[in-house]
Amino acid sequence: MPKKPGTYKAVKLAELDVQGLITGADVLPTQRVIVLSGYNSTLSPFLYLLYDFSGNHFFSANKRKVLLNESLTQTEGISAKTTTQFFTTNERFSKLGITTPARLEQFDVSALLNPYYSKLTSANTSFATNNIKTNTEQHKWAIVTKRSNALQVHILSSLNRNVILNIYDSKGMLVIKKNIAGSFTSVDISSLANSVYIAKLLSTNNQLSQKFIKE
| Mean pLDDT value across residues 177-181 | 91
Position 132 pLDDT exceeds 50 = no
The predicted structure's pLDDT at residue 170: 82
CA distance 208 to 71: 37
SS3 117: helix
Look at residues 186, 163, 189 and name the one whose alpha carbon lies nearest to residue 176: 189
Residue 54 banded pLDDT, cuts 50, 70, 90: confident
pLDDT confidence tier of residue 159, bands split at 50, 70 and 90: low
Query: Which residues, 6 or more positions from 157, have their beta carbon under 8 angstroms from its beta carbon?
Result: 140, 141, 142
Phi-psi region of 162 (alpha: psi -120 to 50; beta: other; left: phi over 0): left
Give the per-residue pLDDT at 47: 96
Rounded average pLDDT over 114-118: 86
Selection from 17-26, 124-133, 175-184 with the highest mean pLDDT: 17-26
Cβ 76 vs Cβ 36: under 8 Å: no
Rounded distance, CA 109 to CA 85, Å?
Answer: 6
Q: What is the pLDDT of residue 133?
A: 44
Q: From CA 177, how far away is CA 181, in angstroms rounded?
A: 13
Give me the phi and psi of 208, to 5 degrees please.
-150, 150
CB 26 within 8 A of CB 86: yes
pLDDT reading at 124 higher than 70: no
- Predicted pLDDT of residue 126: 46
For residue 122, pLDDT beyond 60? no
The 8-class DSSP code of residue 180 comes to E
**Which residues have CB under 8 Å from 27's CB, separation 6+?**
33, 34, 35
Taking only the tens place, the pLDDT of each residue in 103-113 is 999 999 999 99
Q: Is the pLDDT of residue 1 over 80?
A: no
